[in-house]
């Protein structure tokens, strides 16, 4: 029981940061590469990279390498107590639409 609460607290710690929560909200729309995410949020690349690593380490994100780009997406198998908050995240469609189509969601070659 305490173990479960500990795990939940650690997961919510990841969602307890404006930057990471924005990343999750973005990826709710579609998968994105690191450069898209940094562009949209307007943050440094190392900063994005570190947040993405944490989210991935905790099982919230999946990572897929394609050419020189790394695409991140929401992990549909993440814990239910994490996924239950996703529906409350505001839509990021507008932000994503503003992307200069540098490397949006790619079809498998």
Please report, as ranges, the residues that interact with DNA according to CB under 7 A: 13, 16-20, 33-35, 38, 43-47, 49-54, 63, 67-70, 102-103
Question: Among its own copies, DNA, none, what does residue 69 contact (CB within 5–8 Å per kind)?
Answer: DNA
Strands 32-33 and 61-66: unpaired
Least CB distance from residue 75 to its own copies, whole Å?
17
Q: Considering the complex, what minimum distance in angstroms separates the CB of residue 10 from DNA?
A: 8
Binding mask 16-55 for its own copies (x = CB under 8 A): xxx--xx--x------------------------------
Judged by beta carbon, residue 2 or residue 107, the one nearer its own copies is 2
């Amino acid at each position: 029981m305490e173990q479960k609460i500990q795990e939940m607290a650690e997961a919510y710690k990841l969602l307890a940061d404006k930057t990471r929560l924005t990343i999750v909200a973005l990826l709710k729309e579609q998968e994105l590469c690191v450069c898209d995410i940094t562009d949209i949020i307007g943050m440094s690349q190392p900063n994005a990279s570190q947040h993405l690593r944490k989210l991935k380490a905790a099982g919230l994100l999946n990572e897929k390498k394609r050419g020189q780009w790394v695409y991140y997406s929401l992990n549909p198998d993440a814990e239910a107590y994490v996924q239950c908050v996703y529906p409350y995240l505001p839509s990021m469609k507008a932000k994503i639409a503003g992307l200069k189509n540098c490397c949006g969601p790619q079809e498998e070659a």
